[in-house]
Amino acid sequence: MNTLIMACSAGKLDTVSTPMDMYRSRAWDLVRARARIAGFKVYVLSAEHGLINSEGCVIEPYDRKMDPARAREITRLGHGLMTSMPGRIHVFGGKAYRDIIKAWSDNQNIVEVTGLGRGCGDHYSALVKLLGPRLKRRFCPHTGVEHHVEIGARL
């Protein structure tokens, strides 16, 4: 098993929930669909809560942003939090989030999940490459067989 640390997102549910369910974005949809299947334990680096297990607690909605002052504060408070994380540690999020994790780990065993620097879609593509595509079941009426296909693909 490996570890995936995800940045929080601006989109959130408006009710108390687990961090895995709280965040609303295309990247979080992919993580909910594929992380466990792909063998990843997921943590969240939250602007409000710092580093938290995505399924080990419940949190309330919040509206805090990861500004430079908050990033420095979290960096100071977080040393030693990553010692029990399994396998390689993959980090998905903006530069501030990735820099916090690198500072905590002294750059040991960290894989930054980023694209080629061409924007959010490029970073999302890197996450798809890591976790695999989102799949859904489709029934083929011609063959009578159910297939697992990538979302958006044609049967």
87-132 tens-digit pLDDT: 889 999 999 999 999 888 865 778 888 876 666 667 888 898 899 8
- What is the Cα gyration radius of the chain? 17
Phi/psi region, residue 98 (left: phi>0; alpha: psi -120 to 50; beta: rest), is: alpha
User: Quick count: other Cβ atoms within 10 Å of Cβ 6?
Assistant: 27
**% of the chain at pLDDT higher than 70:** 80
Beta strands 2-7; 89-92: pairing state: parallel
What would be the CATH architecture of the domain defined by 2-150? 3-Layer(aba) Sandwich (3.40)
Residue 84, pLDDT > 90, answer no
Asked which of 42-46, 136-140, 151-155 is least confident by mean pLDDT, the reply is: 151-155
State the average pLDDT over residues 140-146.
68
> Strand pairing partners for 46?
50
One DSSP character per residue, 125-147 reads: HHHHHHH---EEEEEETTTTEEE
How far is 11 from 62, CA to CA, in rounded Å? 10
Helix (H, G, I), strand (E, B), or coil: what is residue 33?
helix
